[in-house]
Amino acid sequence: MALHNDYGNLGEEIAAEYLKAKGYVIHQMHWRTGHKELDIVAETDGTLVVVEVKARRNSIFCKPEDVLSVNKMRRIVLAADAYVRYHRIDLPVRFDLITVVGDPRNPRITHYEKAFTSPVWYK
C-alpha cells in the first residue's frame, strides 16, 4: 500500500477517535459496496452523520478541504443512500468533513459539520 494511503487510513482512525471523544457513536468505518465507499458513519443526537476524512501531511500545495469535489460529494451521497437503504435506517442524514493535517502524533483536526447537503435529506 502506498504511503499516502497509510496516512489516509491513519487520518480516518484519528478522526474516529476525535468523534468518539465528542460523544458520537461510530457505526461503521471504511464501508463499501461495489464502487461506493464511506469513510465513517456515525450517529449523534438522533442524526446519522456521514463523515468524509481528508488527511494530509501538510497543506503546502493545497488544503485538504479543497480536494472535496462536486463529483466526490455526489458519490458520497449515493453511497450514503445505499447505506441507509441496506441498513434500513430512518434518521436524518448529515454530511460532515474532517481534515487531519500534520504529524499524526499531534495533528491539526478541523471538523466541518454540514459540509454539504443532499437534495434528498433536508431537516
Within a domain: residue 115?
no
Give pLDDT tens digits for 88-109. 999 999 999 999 988 878 899 9
Q: What's the confidence (pLDDT) of residue 2?
A: 44
For residue 85, what is the domain's CATH number?
3.40.1350.10
Domain that holds residue 79: 3-94
The C-alpha cell 479543497 sits at 66
The pTM of this model reads: 0.86
Is 50 contained in some domain? yes
Q: Is residue 22 part of a domain?
A: yes
Assigned domain for 39 exists? yes
pLDDT (tens digit per residue) in 18-73: 999 999 999 999 999 888 899 999 999 999 999 999 887 765 555 656 677 888 88
pLDDT for 68 equals 77
Q: Is 49 exposed, middle or buried (0-12, 13-18, 19+ CB in 10 A)?
A: buried
Residue 121 lies in a domain: no
- Is 104 within the bounds of a domain? no
Q: Which long-range contacts (CB under 8 A, 24 or more apart) does 31-39 make?
A: 31/79, 31/83, 33/79, 33/82, 33/83, 33/86, 36/75, 36/78, 36/79, 36/82, 37/79, 38/76, 38/79, 38/80, 38/83, 39/12, 39/15
Total domains present in the chain: 1
